[in-house]
Structure 1
Amino acid sequence: MAMTGTWLGDAFAHEAFVFHEDEAMIDRCVPFVVEGLERDEPVIVVATETVRDALGSALGRDLARLAVLGEAETWWRGDAATTLQAYDRDLRRLLAADRPWRLIGEPVWLAAEGGRVWSRYEAVANDCYATFPYYSLCLHDRRRLAPDIIDDVLRTHPLTWNGSAPVASSAYEQTGAYLSSVEPGWYARPDIAATMFATSARQIRAAVREAAPDGWEARHDDMMIALHELVANAVRAAGAAEVSTWSDGRDLVWEVADTGPGLHDISAGYSPPGDHLESGRGLWLARSLSDDASVRAWGPGTAIRLFFRRR
């Protein structure tokens, strides 16, 4: 029985393994690791102490053959974007070795404050890492995670385990459909919105200071940097940007719209741009600095909304 099914080591395979008993986790993880070692594939384990101890008991001296044995709790960098950026750097180093690898990851931070958004990045990973030759076995303990978080896990992983082999997940959703359902809903710009036209990113500093009301000073730098990047992109693409802002409950919303060639990929800016890319960093940085964001088609161009909350 192949622990990775029909995976040939030439593309990304992404499995959600959901369990509520340690025995089930051991039965899945130990043969998965042994198979990888037998195939001379680098095996990476980033998991809780329970998983690490179980592997240690089962593997004995072979535990030292793991490429990485890390604590899951230490991999969370406080927010999803920074965590993914560090993860992305590690993946690209492995990719440079030109051989398939396998990973056991246990994202316990899904239950932490601000950690639930990680499911969005799991969804995007299916697209941005599609050609990477590795198998990601993602562990999710029902005793740690709320039922609605488990639902998101199953919606963002194409594979699940049927007890004897990885199979297609009936709950899986395509990236765009999933993101549309969990990002802030898109609605018509309200009449109370203040709007300006910017032909230079330099105009943003004054706009933020004028538009952000008292009590938002701690977010001024985040807003200015994020909006500077978006306006600079819009000016390059279309010569100008329409910048609007309004309050929406606890959020201060900024929208940057342009009439350029269009960036209609709802997942744009979630994955970190590679070091070799000269574009794509602006939206990635804007998403990283804001508390939430949405991208939509706007006439012939693109509209991007950033949501900020008080610190």
Structure 2
Amino acid sequence: MRGTSRSLPRLDCAVPADALPRWAGARRGVRRIWREGHNIARRTAFSPIPSCESTPPSPAPARPPILQVPDAKTSQPFRHEALLYEGLDQLVERTVPLIREALEAEQPVAFAMLAAKNDAVREELGDDAGAVRFFDMAELGRNPARIIPALHSFTAEQAPPGRRPVGIGEPIWSGRSSHELVECQLHEALINVAFAPEDPYQIVCAYDVAALDPAIVHEARCTHPHVIDNGADPVSREYRGALDVASPFDIALPRPAARPAVLSFDYDTLGDVRELVLRHAERVGLGPTRTDNLVIAAHELAANSVRHGGGNGILRVWQEEDLLVCEVKDRGHITDPLVGRRLPSMEEAGGLGLWIVNQVCDLVQIRSSATTGTVVRLLMRLDGRPVVSA
């Protein structure tokens, strides 16, 4: 495929001179993601793109499982709680005492909700608000896969030894799209895997029962070992434990809403992957920076398919209402439920690709099984803004 409006360098060979400025900027952006880790870790060196080497790849070892699932509803240092409330006034009424209690115990507190709710809690706290780290969940949680790394980062940066950090947030609100809702619920289940029972961390996830569908509230009870609701028994009788994360990538994805462009690729045609994504991103007006992000992400997925998914794969691209969707399918099988949610060390052989993908895309959907292989979808909003509801 040729004829794209911008020069697109091959990542596995020398970069053409006329493409150097643009590609250098894209590489600097990925270096920033690696170095800063979206505030998750600080790095002083970078293992740069490309993900594929200049020689054909050799088979990679299978990705090992890492699960240690908390089954028992026992009291542990780690607590994952759903806080149920009705409306803004009750949210403030129920969260401010939790925050002040933590501050009195000299525990670091992070608070992440939409801007209006952050402002209401900040106003009620008064002078105490200065001791709380506030985050805009519309940005932090645009892709829910970024939240767990942010929690780990907050612990590393703000919690001295012996102090139990408290994170209060609202990953699900009434303005979430159906795609986002599924990934948010998966995120809630994975929190129970991302932290060990002995980790001294309290995570409180708020749910506005007046604004959310009852099925969403029920699911919150199923993914949280504890529920804060009108002083009732905090132990959730609906908590599913290991059942929630036994097969985290089995949730079916909907069929494409439009007829997609389809490309089969292998090591020798990775450049065609980038060209197809670039052409569609420019056609829908995604914008230069977000276009570069999507091209980088699609390349990383395709390179992973070549390395880990049998040497080849299939790319599909389509527009779905206000979204541009890129999908990469291969024969590989992902067994790590936290893939892309942990910044890999420089010593690890893989994992950086899906980390980068989660940082630069608005939403990432991963589905994988031993029988059907792996499908990863990248979703980018055409207007570049997160969906927010009052």
TM-score > 0.5, shorter chain as reference: yes
For residues 263 and 53 of structure 1, the distance between their equivalents in structure 2, rounded to whole angstroms, comes to: 45
Match of 2:235 in 1: 167
* Matched-pair contact (CA < 8 Å) for 1:41–1:102: no
CA distance, structure 2, for counterparts of residue 230 and residue 238 of structure 1: 10
The question of whether the paired residues in 2 share the 8 Å contact of 1:273 and 1:281 is answered with yes
Q: Secondary structure at the match of 1:16?
A: strand
Unaligned runs of 5+ in 2: 1-72, 383-390
1:254 to 318, 327, 340: 327
Aligned to 1:30: 97
Distance 1:54 1:277, change over 3 A: farther
Match of 1:79 in 2: 142
In structure 2, do the counterparts of structure 1 residues 178 and 303 end up closer, same or farther at CA, with 3 Å as the change threshold? closer
Q: Secondary structure at the match of 1:264?
A: coil
> Bigger relative contact order, structure 1 or 2, given CA contacts below 8 A and separation 6+?
2
2:184 is aligned with 1:184: no
Q: By how many angstroms is 1:296 displaced?
A: 1.3
Deviation at 1:104, TM superposition (A): 4.9
1:293 aligns to 2:365 (yes or no): yes
Task: Determine helix, strand or coil for the equivalent of 1:294.
Answer: strand
1:13 to 2:79 alignment: yes
Which residue pairs with 1:156 in the alignment? Answer: 223
Residues 122-271 of structure 1 mapped to structure 2, 5 A cutoff: 122-130=188-196, 132-143=199-210, 145-161=212-228, 163=231, 165-170=233-238, 172=240, 174-175=244-245, 180-181=250-251, 184-185=253-254, 194-200=262-268, 201-209=270-278, 212=280, 215-216=283-284, 218=286, 220-237=291-308, 240-245=311-316, 247=318, 250=321, 252-259=325-332, 262-265=333-336, 268-269=339-340, 271=341
Structure 2 length as normaliser, TM-score? 0.57
What are the equivalent positions in structure 2 for 1:298-309 lying under 5 Å apart? Answer: 299=371, 302-308=373-379
Query: Given the superposition, is the C-alpha separation of residues 142 and 240 from structure 1 closer, same or farther in structure 2, using an over 3 Å criterion?
Result: same
In the alignment, the residues of structure 2 paired with residue 70 and residue 143 of structure 1 have an alpha-carbon distance, to the nearest angstrom, of 27
- Note the aligned Cα RMSD (angstroms): 4.3
Tell whether 2:156 aligns with 1:92: yes
**Could you say if the C-alpha distance between residues 140 and 216 of structure 1 is closer, same or farther in structure 2, counting changes exceeding 3 Å?**
same
Q: Which residue of 1 aligns with 2:170?
A: 107
Identity %: 20
How many Å apart are 1:77 and its aligned residue?
Answer: 3.6
Secondary structure of 2:192 counterpart: helix
* 8 Å contact from structure 1 (residues 110, 145) kept in 2: yes
CA pair 199-167 structure 1, distance change in 2 beyond 3 A: same
Distance in 2 between residues matched to 1:150 and 1:179, nearest whole Å: 22
Determine if contact 2:140/2:147 at 8 Å carries over to the other structure.
yes
Structure 2 counterpart of 1:44: 109
Q: Is the 8 A contact 2:313 2:330 kept in 1?
A: yes
Query: Could you state the TM-score of these two structures normalised by the residue count of structure 1?
Result: 0.69
Query: Tell me, what secondary structure is at the counterpart of 1:306?
Result: strand
Offset at residue 246 of structure 1 (A): 5.2
Instruction: Count the aligned residue pairs.
Output: 287
Whole-Å separation in 2 of the counterparts to 1:94 and 1:164: 32
Deviation at 1:224, TM superposition (A): 2.0
Tell me, yes or no, if the aligned pair for 1:193 and 1:245 is still in contact at 8 Å. yes
The answer to whether the Cα contact below 8 Å between 1:19 and 1:141 also exists between their aligned partners in 2 is: yes
Query: 1:60 — aligned with what?
Result: none
1: CA distance, partners of 2:137 / 2:365: 26
Distance 1:180 1:53, change over 3 A: farther
* CA apart distance, 1:85: 4.3
Report the CA distance shift for 1:255/1:170 in structure 2 as closer, same or farther (over 3 A). same
Unaligned runs of at least 5 residues, structure 1: 57-62
